[in-house]
Amino acid sequence: MFGLITAASLFGLLLILTFLRFRKRQFSAVRNSRSFLLTYPSWLWRTTADLFKNEGRKKAVRHFSDWLKLSYPREQRWIFFTLAGSFSYLVLSGMVPAVGGLRLSGIFLVLHVFFGSLFALSLGAVVVLRARFYRFDEKSPDDKTSTSGLRLCAAFWIFTLCGLTQILTALSLMLPLFALSVEIDIFRAHEYSGLVALLSAIAFFYLSFFEENHG
């Protein structure tokens, strides 16, 4: 079930994000809705293929580099990398077995617990350092960044909330507080909050690179 929901939600999110971008870029060029819908798949294919071309890759790296420079001062970048790295491992080690209906075990579980702590610490640092840039009602104090978009803010805070849920559920599973039946529910919450965190992270980066900065 979890695997199905994961696959469907990932697919759905990517579809929505790309479609929004497509609509924004192509709306003026395509007049009727039928041809608009017919043009979307070819546009998606072309854009995706561009990403894998040398030029596309260079462009993506440049975008990312620009975003990083704008978002994090040099001395704080390691926090971002720790967050991104630990989150990537957590997603891979946690989601892949869960989607396959397997149980995380072995050395991957040990590392999952270790990276979970790194993730928690780095997320805490990021929230402290970056929360002010994602206020819903105001422009960022740093005018060089344009991260005040509603969607971007929403993605940031959803990710933060899900991260917090992840931390709390992990912590409660480590403590002898809850009965097995509750623990099973907590574990579910851990799984699904992880999924939502992943979706929000995808949305955040997509919006950061393609919509807000370089749309």
Write out the residues near other proteins by the rule CB under 8 A: 103, 105-107, 109-110, 113-114, 116-117, 120-121, 123-124, 127-128, 131, 135-138, 157, 160-161, 163-164, 167-168, 170-171, 173-181, 183-185, 187
CA distance 57 to 158: 28
Distance CA 40, CA 64 (A): 25
> Could you give the CA distance from residue 11 to residue 147 in angstroms, rounded to a whole number?
25
| Comparison of 5 and 173: residue with beta carbon closer to other proteins | 173
Q: Which is nearer to other proteins, 52 or 136 (CB)?
A: 136
Q: How far is the CB of 164 from other proteins (least distance, A)?
A: 5
Tokens of 91: 């997603």
Minimum gap (Å) between residue 8 Cβ and other proteins: 25
**Percentage helix, strand, coil for the chain under 3-state DSSP, each rounded to 5:** 80, 0, 20
Across 86-123, b (16+ Cβ under 10 Å) vs e yields bbebbeebbbebbbeeeeeeeeeeeebeebbebbbebb
Name the residue nearer to other proteins (CB basis): 68 or 173. Answer: 173
The smaller minimum CB distance to other proteins, of residues 137 and 143, is found at: 137
Distance in angstroms (rounded) separating the CA atoms of residues 175 and 177: 5
Rounded to an integer, what distance in angstroms lies between the CA atom of residue 164 and that of residue 148? 22
Which residue lies nearer to other proteins by CB, 59 or 135? 135
Cβ closest to other proteins, residue 91 vs residue 121: 121
Nearest distance from C-beta of residue 135 to other proteins, angstroms: 8
| Cβ 213 to other proteins shortest distance, Å | 24
- CB 54 to other proteins: min, Å: 40
Tokens 């975008």 belong to 63
Q: How far is the CB of 181 from other proteins (least distance, A)?
A: 4
